[in-house]
């Protein structure tokens, strides 16, 4: 994981709270941290690294995503944004907005916040998107007049990779808690999954890790990092895909523990004993 870099200030000094979460990867791009929390008017840095063998160009932008009750994130058009979502886009500043990365050479993206006067207390969030810019297609070779012209249509598909990370601004004295609900083993289109309900209360998001253990067994059956419930929803279904052999082991009495990320202390958010069917 890339080491978290030194923070920088944009406005007056204030508290900064950023956790160095694991790097996220898509294609040949690594991004660290994968989640940024800003308290006040100071900024921080996000580090990009191209782990491929060739230079690559990335465009950086902000977008608004809302969490669904199934735990997914849906991109929201500008016309449908709430005033709070619009405010998040306006207050988060970053540079540069386009980078070309040589192989294995990190690049810093500076991220800051400009709090407007009279901003209401609350949690404001936008998602920073790092999207690969495909290389320009080579010019077609001149046709050989001695050969017949090709017929039909040729289509070339170029995959465009992207990573998003949440940029969260917290204003005022905020708090939240979460409660683990029913748990079960379900079937998804991609195979079996360990699923449970997670309810949030308060005026900010909750975020942490899940550990599932069986009584009498020292090692956890299942570990999952980065489980969030954002303020736009009060509850969500968590669905963690598992191999069929693990799905069978998860049935019966288990203990589910939801904790803050280890980088910020690992305190227990909630813990529940359940009988999984």
Specify if 146 maps to a domain.
no
pLDDT digits (tens, 9 = 90+) for 36-74: 999 876 789 999 999 999 999 999 999 999 999 999 999
| Summary count for the chain: helices (H), strands (E) | 2, 19
Specify if 259 maps to a domain.
yes
Mention every residue, 6+ apart, whose C-beta is less than 8 A from residue 246.
221, 222
Q: 204 and 117 share a domain?
A: no
pLDDT confidence of residue 264: 77
CATH number, domain with residue 270: 2.60.40.10
Q: 166 and 183 share a domain?
A: no
Q: 123 and 183 share a domain?
A: no
In the predicted structure, residue 144 carries a pLDDT above the cut 90:
no
Q: 127 and 183 share a domain?
A: no
Q: What are phi and psi of 57, to 5 degrees?
A: -110, 140
Higher pLDDT, 155 or 232: 232
Q: What are phi and psi of 250, to 5 degrees?
A: -75, -15
Cα(271)–Cα(254) distance, rounded to whole angstroms? 11
Specify if 17 maps to a domain.
no
Specify if 31 maps to a domain.
yes
Structure tokens at 211: 């550990």
Name which of 257, 154, 196 is nearest 70 in CA terms: 196
Q: 123 and 206 share a domain?
A: no
Q: 166 and 63 share a domain?
A: yes
pLDDT confidence of residue 6: 32
Cα(96)–Cα(110) distance, rounded to whole angstroms? 7
pLDDT mean across residues, the chain:
85
Q: pLDDT band for position 28 (50/70/90)? A: confident
Show which of 117, 145, 171 is a domain's final residue.
171
**To the nearest 10°, the Cα dihedral for 29, 32, 38, 41?**
-80
Q: 166 and 268 share a domain?
A: no
Cα(75)–Cα(19) distance, rounded to whole angstroms? 25
Q: 231 and 263 share a domain?
A: yes
Specify if 88 maps to a domain.
yes
User: Mapping DSSP to helix (H, G, I), strand (E, B) and coil, where does residue 248 land?
Assistant: helix
Number of other CB atoms surrounding residue 192 within 10 Å: 19
Q: Are strands 36-39 and 162-171 parallel, antiparallel or unpaired?
A: parallel
- Say if residues 39 and 75 touch (Cβ distance below 8 Å): no
Structure tokens at 238: 């968590």
Q: What are phi and psi of 87, to 5 degrees?
A: -65, -40
Domain that residue 60 falls in: 24-135+159-171
Higher pLDDT, 238 or 264: 238
Q: 45 and 111 share a domain?
A: yes
Looking at the whole model, is its pTM more than 0.85?
Answer: no
CA atoms within 13 A of residue 208's CA, in its CB half-sphere: 25
Q: pLDDT band for position 7 (50/70/90)? A: very low
Specify if 70 maps to a domain.
yes
Higher pLDDT, 133 or 238: 238
What's the structural domain count of the chain?
A: 2
Specify if 110 maps to a domain.
yes
pLDDT digits (tens, 9 = 90+) for 176-188: 999 999 999 999 9
pLDDT digits (tens, 9 = 90+) for 197-256: 999 999 999 999 999 999 889 899 999 999 999 999 999 999 999 999 999 999 999 999
Percent helix, strand, coil in the chain, to 5, is 10, 50, 45
Lowest mean pLDDT among 24-28, 140-144, 170-174, 218-222: 140-144
Name the β-bridge partners of 140: none
Please compute the mean of the pLDDT values over residues 5-20 and round it to a whole number. Answer: 32
Mention every residue, 6+ apart, whose C-beta is less than 8 A from residue 149.
143
In the predicted structure, residue 27 carries a pLDDT above the cut 80:
no
Name which of 69, 65, 74 is nearest 236 in CA terms: 69
In the predicted structure, residue 121 carries a pLDDT above the cut 50:
yes
In the predicted structure, residue 19 carries a pLDDT above the cut 50:
no
Q: 188 and 269 share a domain?
A: yes
Name the β-bridge partners of 107: 48
In the predicted structure, residue 136 carries a pLDDT above the cut 90:
no
Name the β-bridge partners of 192: 187
pLDDT confidence of residue 266: 85
Q: 126 and 37 share a domain?
A: yes
Specify if 112 maps to a domain.
yes
Show which of 171, 195, 219 is a domain's final residue.
171
Q: 88 and 108 share a domain?
A: yes
Show which of 171, 198, 230 is a domain's final residue.
171
């Amino acid at each position: 994981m890339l080491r978290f870099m030194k923070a920088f200030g944009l406005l007056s000094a204030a508290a900064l709270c950023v956790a160095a979460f694991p790097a996220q990867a898509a294609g040949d791009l690594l991004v660290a941290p994968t989640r940024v929390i800003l308290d006040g008017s100071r900024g921080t840095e996000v580090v990009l690294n191209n782990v491929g063998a060739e230079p690559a160009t990335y465009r950086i932008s902000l977008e608004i995503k809302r969490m669904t009750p199934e735990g997914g994130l849906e991109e929201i058009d500008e016309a449908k944004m709430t005033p709070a979502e619009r405010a998040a886009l306006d207050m988060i500043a970053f540079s540069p907005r386009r980078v070309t990365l040589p192989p294995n050479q990190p690049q810093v993206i500076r991220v800051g916040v400009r709090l407007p006067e009279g901003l209401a207390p609350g949690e404001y969030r936008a998602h920073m998107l790092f999207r690969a810019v495909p290389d320009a297609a080579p010019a077609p070779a001149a046709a050989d007049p001695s050969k017949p012209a090709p017929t039909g249509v040729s289509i070339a598909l170029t995959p465009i990779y992207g990573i998003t990370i949440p940029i969260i601004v917290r204003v005022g004295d905020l708090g939240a808690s979460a409660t683990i609900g029913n748990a079960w083993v379900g079937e998804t289109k991609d195979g079996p999954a360990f699923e449970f309900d997670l309810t949030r209360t308060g005026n900010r998001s909750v975020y942490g890790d899940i550990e599932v253990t069986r009584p009498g067994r020292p090692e956890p059956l299942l570990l999952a990092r980065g489980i969030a419930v954002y303020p736009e929803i009060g509850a969500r279904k968590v669905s963690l895909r598992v191999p069929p052999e693990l799905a069978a082991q998860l049935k019966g009495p288990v203990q589910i523990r939801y904790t803050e990320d280890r980088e910020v202390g690992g305190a227990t958010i909630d813990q529940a004993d359940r009988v999984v069917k």
